[in-house]
């Protein structure tokens, strides 16, 4: 890849996307396959709690990565917003 800054931003984008996929998948699994009160076979409560914990931690990680993404892209966001506001 190019310079170290673009490599860091690319890796951050990939990590954020992977977290998004993990949060989305675990949320769908919780909602569709392991709903609250699900009376499946033995050990289902453990699996449901494992999915819930995974979903919570990946959600927290996703939020942190999105905030970091916004902080690192803030100069770009600010310049584009300034340009957009001056055109109006």
Question: How far apart are the C-alpha atoms of 19 and 33, rounded to whole Å?
Answer: 20
Count of domains forming the chain: 1
Instruction: Please tell me the predicted confidence (pLDDT) of residue 40.
Output: 63
Task: State which residues form the domain around 9.
Answer: 4-87
- What long-range pairs does 81-85 form, CB within 8 A, spacing at least 24? none
**In sequence order, which residues have a C-beta less than 8 Å from that of residue 55 and are 6 or more positions away?**
23, 26, 27, 30
Question: How far apart are the C-alpha atoms of 25 and 59, rounded to whole Å?
Answer: 11
Is residue 3 scored above 90 in pLDDT? no
pTM of the model: 0.78
Question: How far apart are the C-alpha atoms of 10 and 57, rounded to whole Å?
Answer: 22
pLDDT, tens digit (0-9, with 9 covering 90-100), for 29-70:
988 887 776 666 666 778 888 999 999 999 999 999 999 999
């Amino acid at each position: 890849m190019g310079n170290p800054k673009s490599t860091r931003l690319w890796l951050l984008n990939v990590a954020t996307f992977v977290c998004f996929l993990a949060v989305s998948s675990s949320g769908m699994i919780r909602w569709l396959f392991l709903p609250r009160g699900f009376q499946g076979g033995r050990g289902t409560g453990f699996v449901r709690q494992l999915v819930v914990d995974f979903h919570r931690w990946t959600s927290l990680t996703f939020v942190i990565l999105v905030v970091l993404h916004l902080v690192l892209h803030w100069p770009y966001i600010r310049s584009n917003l300034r340009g957009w506001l001056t055109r109006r």
